Amino acid sequence: MAIQGIGGFFFRAKNPEALGKWYEEHLGIGAWWEQKAGPTVFQPFPADSDYFSADRQAMLNLRVEGLDAMVAELEQSGIDVIRKAEWDGEYGRFARIHDPEGNPIELWEP
């Protein structure tokens, strides 16, 4: 196999232009961006998993540096951030947000 990584993440949106601007403003993700090399987890979950909202088929997980500073910036922008002590452990630290259309986004600091 010659797979080298994930080449993109494509999803439907009610207002693609506005949602794209939100991702760029709050997460620094434009239509095209260069990623820093590091681990990527590709993991199907059971259909009845409660790890993220049951009304969503997927959750975007973003690898970050400086999780605490990022959480503070998001909260200053009025974005609700969820933190749970049980999420943090041997794999790193986690926080959860939702974009304006309700899509779950997990922020992961390995």
What would the pLDDT profile of 19-51 be if each residue is shown by its tens digit? Answer: 999 999 999 999 888 888 898 999 999 999 999
Contacts (Cβ under 8 Å, ≥6 apart) of 9: 60
User: Looking at the 3D structure of the chain, how many domains does it have?
Assistant: 1
- CA 56 to each of CA 15, 51, 52, 76, 101: distance values in angstroms, whole numbers, following the listed order: 18, 11, 8, 27, 11
* Owning domain of residue 25: 18-29+57-110
Q: What pLDDT was estimated at residue 17?
A: 96
Average pLDDT value for residue range 8-22:
95
Average pLDDT value for residue range 89-105:
95
Q: What pLDDT was estimated at residue 2?
A: 83
Cα–Cα distance measured from residue 4 to residue 102, given in angstroms and rounded to the nearest whole number = 30
Cα–Cα distance measured from residue 45 to residue 40, given in angstroms and rounded to the nearest whole number = 15
Q: What pLDDT was estimated at residue 101?
A: 96
**Inside any domain, residue 7:** no
**Inside any domain, residue 69:** yes
Question: Burial, 30: exposed, middle or buried (Cβ in 10 Å; 0-12, 13-18, 19+)?
Answer: exposed
Q: What pLDDT was estimated at residue 83?
A: 96
On average, the pLDDT of the chain sits at 93
- Indicate which CATH number applies to the domain containing 108: 3.10.180.10
